[in-house]
Chain A
Amino acid sequence: MTSPEAAAFEQWLAEATRGLPQPLAKDVRTELEAHFEDAVEDYLTAGRSPAAARTAALADLGDAETVRHMLHKVHLSRDERLIAWITWLVPRLWQHRAVIATALFGLLALSVVVADHRHWIAYRGHPDPLTPLAFGFVLLSLLLERRLTTWSYPAAGYLLSGIWPWLFFEGFERLGGPFWDIVAPLVLPGATFLIWGISGLRTLRRTAGRRGMAIAWLLVGLLLATKLATTAVQLRDGALVFSLSALSATEIRVNAPWVLYLIVMSLAPVAIGLRAAQRDGLAAVLIPMGCQYAFFVGIADPTYHLTFYDAWQPSRTLHTVEALVTYLPALMTFLIAPLWMLRTPSRQGRTTASLVPSGTTLILTHILSAIGLAHTHQAYTAATWLSSGLESLLYLLPILLAIVLYNRFGQDEAILAHSVDNTAPALADPNRNVTART
């Protein structure tokens, strides 16, 4: 069996000779091996233990990267060095594709959001540059790895957040035509319900007879009821009105599709959570959820209000706040939360990474929005604050519920064929953090 010191030397040699043409690499290896053996012999003669002798000899050789760099300068032309660098870089980029793709999408999303927030952010029905980009990321994931990979989750979350206004509001209507008239109200919500139904059934079947699961679904029911109630909360004459009973039959019919859609979108990640957690850990559920909720409630809603009043009463303050309300949540949602979750090694860390940026996003945007609106006659009242606070809490609930479910069932051997290795960074390598139970 190879000793750790010998393995370390092998690694050193591989690094020092990497990128050199084969015959030359072989010669250099022979020379360095002879040097290493001579040094080890001398240290042994001096009374060191074999392990200590190898460690000291390796330390004397110095930094392998420096040696490689010098060897490349001597033996390779500029073009050859470039090729060696690319062949070194590509596998490493692929190895860290989760982090790179997440960061890339995050940065692109940020730049798009910041560059054009006034024109489309509040009306996601507009064709916006980020939607094709998000589709591209999801498509790339399917083509390259034949599944929805973890690095495509922020993009998937963005697409999820864009579905509802596309279905029920003016953005959709602009598309026009009988095809979209049918697709919007029937096919897309139908498909969403179908996905939720199938994944929910699967989850229930896998957890049959478990008391914890029943409690979890009670919580889901509670959430659903809360969602219905608070969706129906409206501000009338500066007062909070639970207006479900006050709504006319027409109003209920008009509001029903998107209320239902919101309910499904809240529950779907929870329902599919356990299955997704089997493969990629909790982050698989929480990243798209975080993106969806934070984008929807954190960016779209507050920006909509600000844009509305800014259009009516143009103000530099409002415009600045609009930019902040757009930029900060986008930063949290697309960059900080996913990267934090990808890199954190512990379950607690991932939980924090999923809750803190989302929570901060939701609270921050409402505060900023209130500051901006204070410059108009539409300043926040106590009732507005309460309504916003409830809404923010509501959107954090599904995330919290997913965490509870994951911690309760995510590691359960009877449910899962695989376990998630919580000592590894969550998504550094989609295949690395999943280890088969034997």
Chain B
Amino acid sequence: MNMTGSLPLLILHALSRGASYGYAIAKQIKASSSDVLDFQEGTLYPTLHKLEKDGLVEAYTTLTNGRQRLYYRLTEAGERALEAERAAWMTYARAVNAVLGEAK
């Protein structure tokens, strides 16, 4: 399914459950949507970097299983942005559903 524009929201939501790294975030998004939401995994990183630049997430390195990983976690600004984005998305989804329901 085309996810243009919604990837930042999905990433913020994935990180709201706790700090994570790129591959795990990608897996989580795909698994949560039963593989309906698919995307080019490489694009996850520029999106994460953009969120970091905007101050919505912060990155830190940690050693996991002997491998150094770059983890990301939500900042307070990120939490606020997630709430705002989630509310906007719900409003949008309700509006689209209403139109589609009306069409039936």
Give Cα A16–Cα B44 distance, bound, in whole angstroms.
13
Identify which of B23, B40, B47 contacts A62 (C-beta below 8 A): B40
Instruction: Indicate if the CB atoms of A61 and B41 lie closer than 8 Å.
Output: yes
**Contact code string B27-44 (vs A, CB < 8 Å = 1, else 0):** 100000000000111111
Q: Knowing A34-B69, A74-B46 touch, does A67 contact B40 (C-beta < 8 A)?
A: yes
Q: Does B77 contact A (CB under 8 A)?
A: no
Closest Cβ–Cβ distance, residue B33 to chain A (whole Å): 15
Instruction: Indicate if the CB atoms of B45 and A34 lie closer than 8 Å.
Output: no
- Which of B21, B43, B67 counts the most chain A CB atoms within 10 A? B43
Q: Please, which residues of chain A bring their CB within 8 A of the CB of B69?
A: 34
- Which of A62, A63, A66, A75 counts the most chain B CB atoms within 10 A? A62
Q: Does A28 contact B (CB under 8 A)?
A: yes
**Contact code string A50-74 (vs B, CB < 8 Å = 1, else 0):** 0000000000111110110011011
Taking CB atoms and an 8 Å cut-off, the chain B residues in 35-92 that contact chain A are 39-47, 49-50, 53, 67-70
- Which of B45, B53, B67 counts the most chain A CB atoms within 10 A? B45
Minimal Cβ-Cβ distance residue in A for B39: A62
Chain B interface mostly helix, strand, loop or mixed?
A: helix
Q: Please, which residues of chain A bring their CB within 8 A of the CB of B43?
A: 62, 66-67, 70
Q: Please, which residues of chain B bring their CB within 8 A of the CB of A60?
A: 40-41
Number of interface residues of B (CB under 8 A): 21
Q: Does A38 contact B (CB under 8 A)?
A: yes
Identify which of A62, A70, A71, A73 contacts B41 (C-beta below 8 A): A62
Give Cα A62–Cα B43 distance, bound, in whole angstroms.
8
Give Cα A62–Cα B46 distance, bound, in whole angstroms.
13
Q: How large is the interface on A (under 10, 10 to 19, 20 to 34, 35 or more residues)?
A: 20 to 34
Give Cα A42–Cα B67 distance, bound, in whole angstroms.
16
Q: Knowing A31-B45, A38-B23, A75-B49 touch, does A63 contact B67 (C-beta < 8 A)?
A: no
Closest Cβ–Cβ distance, residue B90 to chain A (whole Å): 27
Give Cα A87–Cα B22 distance, bound, in whole angstroms.
30
Q: Please, which residues of chain B bring their CB within 8 A of the CB of A73?
A: 46, 50
Instruction: Indicate if the CB atoms of B21 and A70 lie closer than 8 Å.
Output: no
Q: Please, which residues of chain A bring their CB within 8 A of the CB of B70?
A: 27, 30-31, 34
Closest Cβ–Cβ distance, residue A25 to chain B (whole Å): 12
Q: Does A133 contact B (CB under 8 A)?
A: no
Nearest first, the 10 closest Cβ-Cβ pairs linking A and B are A62-B40, A70-B46, A67-B42, A61-B42, A38-B23, A35-B23, A71-B46, A74-B50, A62-B42, A74-B49
Residues in B lying within 8 Å of A, measured CB to CB? 21-23, 26-27, 39-47, 49-50, 53, 67-70
9 contacts between A and B (CB under 8 A): A32-B42, A32-B45, A35-B44, A60-B40, A62-B39, A64-B42, A67-B42, A71-B49, A74-B46
